[in-house]
Chains A and B, each alone.
Chain A
Amino acid sequence: MSREHDQQGAGNDPMLLDHNYDGIQEFDNPTPGWWHVIFIGSVIFAILYVQVYMFGPGSSEQDKYNIEVAQHYERLFADVGDLEPNEETILRIMHEDDLQRFMPVAEAIFTSKCAACHGALGQGGTGPNMTDDAYLHVKNLEDIGTVILEGARAGAMPAWEKRLHPNQITLLAAYVAKLRGTNVPGKMKEGEVPAPWPEYEPAGN
């Protein structure tokens, strides 16, 4: 045993190894059992995980995503089918009681996509005020759908055709149409005032 070490008890301990580095010594303790168990367990987990998720039959993250999206639209639109952004459909969504459940859906889209330019309440910002009764590119209800789909004024209003589900566009059109006349103080009127939206006549009446 070296005389250089400065540690208490060294030399008396049977577990102490014959190592001495600048006075640092080392015990010959075994590695803890639980440490081995968890280490080996993590290796087994890794092997199984790789088997299942890399070579297994499961679907990819992208597949799972696609399924989730399909299920979401299925759940949301199963009973209404395709919603075309025409006058009749837009009116129906605006007025029919059992379709009002789509308004929060449209509102969420409006808030996440449109509010940045048109304001959270539609009061306008960079883009025009949606709550007065004047419009730049809209003469009738269908035009709202068209502007959302195709955009307007060389990109001043972006085109959303490739970025939203077709039904979402129609819902959005109905939501925007309903904002007319809510007159939230904001941006000044721009454009012309089209005729009031047509009255809704439920089919079969």
Chain B
Amino acid sequence: MTDSAASRADGLPLETFTYDDAIVRKFTLATFIWGFVAMLVGVYIAIELAYPKANLGLPWFSFGRLRPLHTNAAIFAFAGNAIFAAVYYSVQRLCKTRMYSDVLSNLHFWGWQLIIVSAALTLPFGFTQGKEYAELEWPIDLAIAVVWVGFFGTNLMLTLINRRERHLYVAIWFYIASVVTVAVLHVFNSLVMVAGPLKSYSWYAGVQDAFIQWWYGHNAVAFFLTTPFLGLMYYFLPKAAERPVFSYKLSIIHFWSLVFIYIWAGPHHLHYTALPSWASTLGMVFSVMLWMPSWGGMINGLLTLRGAWHKVAADPILKFFVVAVTFYGMSTFEGPLLSVKSVNSLSHYTDWTIGHVHAGTLGWNGFLAFGMIYWLLPRLYQTDLWSKKLCSAHFWIGTLGIFMYWLSMYAAGITQGLMWRAFDETGSLAYPEFIETVTRLIPMYWIRAAGGALFLLGVVLMGVNFFMTWKNRPKEYAKATHQAPPLAKKYKPEAAYSSDLENVVGMGKKLDEITSLSWHRRWEGRPVKFTLWVVVAVSIASLFEAIPTWLVESNRETIASVKPYTPLELVGRDIYISEGCYTCHSQMIRPMRHETERYGEYSKPGEFVYDHPFQWGSRRIGPDLHRVGGVRNHLWHWDHFNNPPDITPGSIMPPYPWLLVDDLDYDVIPSRVRAMTMIGVPYSKEDVTQGIEMAREQAALIAAEMEEQGGPAASETKDKKVIALIAYLQRLGTDLLNPVEEEEPADGAEGGE
């Protein structure tokens, strides 16, 4: 007997209602538009890596500023709107109710688009918090929290509470997990000290900041790009295939194991870094354990198509879904593989990671979203899809694009990783010049750009199909009405399975009952309780890792010679962050001989205690910079910023001529230093009150030294932005090498490690 029949038996009258498809139309259109923009920017910056002159010498188009725009647009604008379209379409139908509030739905839609627009208006101008995928400055972060929790989350929960379908379908479990966890991740990673209208510093420093950032960063992948898309898959794939889902049991097990295990995995982004190794070990083993929970989703997706493969051959929408789910399987095998420390020692900082990420985003997120859009178009616009052929063409062109992207990045990543670690027979670096390991990749960068361009072309074809289908829409949309009885006031849970095993003790029976999973059916009837259990699952794991990272004193051993940045160095660091230098340069030398031979002594946790935010980076498109302080003179940096290829032939670093002509704004110094003081950086009162004079003095000294080295007249250069940046670079990594003066000898020895 089904629920509706049961309710009817309770004598509840049928209620009539309609679904809000207008909001789904809005989110679907936004998915396409932002998808196009995100991928266009992606192709553009891919070309910049192969051909740096493509940035036309404009600050706003430089790689460091546009890369965050690409990632944020792809994740939050493209994938975000796709998620919302899926949620708003499927939840109404799965719960047999209209969304709780059309007003909240629309506030959500317009609020989110406004956030995206403000991202596009701040990132290219260098307003950034300098943490990957969390670059948006604090006012936008606040808006995200309001829109996500206040509008989206509230609307969704109230809709679930007002549902007319007793049990929550598996897609909704995944939506709940996404909404709750993303909110927690976003809030805790975005805690900052405000230092100006569009400027802030992370509350956390160094090791802690890195830990929180990758707890966030990895789980952005988990709860923004994985769980909501699994929800999407669980609704649209069986709908399109018209087949029952393969295994309800598998849904339950893989859902809970995924939600519980995923959250631990973040530290695998920080293997061999200054993060304590126990944390990265946990990150690794939980990533390995995550393999099968992830594959549970793939199995349920692919085996749902059992008996429908003839449909896949004929239907491009199902083809999109099959490739998407297959890429999900491949990426979630590769993820655990890359999290194994010894593999990671090769892959980290290389394009292998970039290839891995794009297999997931282009293959899984992209193709799932495209399949959904093509399935929705005729239903939303109440007419036939304009061209199935064009849809098919999109599929094949897109698939080719993904493979070109993916394989070229593999080749590039492994090539570069092996070149970095290669020694000759004397044990010396086989490729001592970093640039050799860059120029070798240029052909692969062109293939990647071409692959990306093909993927983008596919999206353009989808745009044409979208537009033409929309054009053929009826004058007025038919408003279908639906009928269902409300839920009975009191939930009478179904009888739990009672074990009929014979000849076993009580505990055996109990185990049999638990493994039957019949208890879960009752949870599915209680959305609030269900949500609370999800919160428990993700919180336990987070706290297990986070608390020791904070409390264990040895995790942030202090080094006596490490001192806060001078006011000038601090604003220089702000320029480093604002130009997005961390998108190409790491500041984290791993304890490996090939790294220390190339860059110098490996990085220690205590060196980063004043780094709000940390700038360890995740990719070495250029060399590591942690020990760059003092190994080049000022003039070298000046000339290098002016035009890197003049100094390093073949360099793909863009020129930064604007830093050589723009004047430094000294007036921001007091507010910046004061903000740092508020989060525990031990600046003196003079550093705040005299900060401007101190900075001018240091800048004049650097400019004078640079003139002596054969540079331009100090009077011309001393107030330029680049001087502050040079001051910061010259400081990087040097504190460790300079023993403390006028201290106990024991302390002094510590610095000379």
Q: Which residues of A contact B (CB under 8 A)?
A: 1-2, 6-10, 13, 16-32, 35, 38-39, 42-43, 45-46, 49-50, 53-54, 60-62, 64-65, 68-69, 72, 75-76, 101-102, 104-105, 107-109, 111-113, 115-117, 120, 125-126, 153-159, 162-163
Contact = CB atoms under 8 A, between A and B. Distances in A.
Interface string B277-304: 1100110111011011101100100010
B247 A24 contact: no
Interface stretch (B627-635, B654-662, B663-671): B627-635
Nearest to A64: B591
A116 B2 CA distance: 75
Given A72-B427, A111-B432, A25 B245 contact: yes
Interface string B128-168: 00000000000000000000000000000000000001010
A19 B286 CA distance: 33
A72 to B, nearest CB: 5
Interface in B227-256: 235, 238-239, 242-251, 253
Given A24-B245, A156-B635, A50 B285 contact: yes
Contact of B709 (A20, A31, A112, A153): A153
Contact of B248 (A28, A35, A46, A111): A28
B4 interface: yes
7 contacts: A7-B244, A20-B2, A24-B244, A27-B247, A32-B250, A72-B593, A156-B705
Interface in B594-617: 596-598, 600-602
Contacts of A28: 247-249
B93 interface: yes
Nearest to B706: A156
Contacts of A62: 591, 602
A25 B244 contact: yes
Contacts, number: 191
A22 B245 contact: no
A19 to B, nearest CB: 7
Contacts of A19: 167, 169, 248
A115 B286 CA distance: 44
Contact of A61 (B242, B249, B277, B282): B277
Given A2-B2, A104-B424, A155-B630, A35 B272 contact: no
Given A7-B244, A46-B288, A159 B249 contact: no
Given A20-B2, A64-B591, A76-B426, 11 more contacts: A21-B169, A22-B90, A31-B253, A35-B292, A42-B288, A46-B285, A46-B286, A53-B277, A69-B593, A116-B636, A126-B635
B428 A108 contact: yes
B648 interface: yes
B299 A32 contact: yes
- The interface centre, meaning the residue of B167, B235, B632 with most chain A CB atoms within 10 A of its CB, is B632
A161 to B, nearest CB: 9
B169 A24 contact: yes
- The interface centre, meaning the residue of A24, A35, A38, A113 with most chain B CB atoms within 10 A of its CB, is A24
Nearest to A48: B285
B184 interface: no
Nearest to B271: A61
Q: 7 closest pairs, A vs B, by CB? A: A108-B428, A46-B285, A112-B432, A39-B292, A65-B591, A25-B244, A29-B247
Contacts of A27: 244-248
A143 to B, nearest CB: 19
Contacts of B634: 155
A46 B633 CA distance: 48
B418 interface: no
A49 B289 CA distance: 12
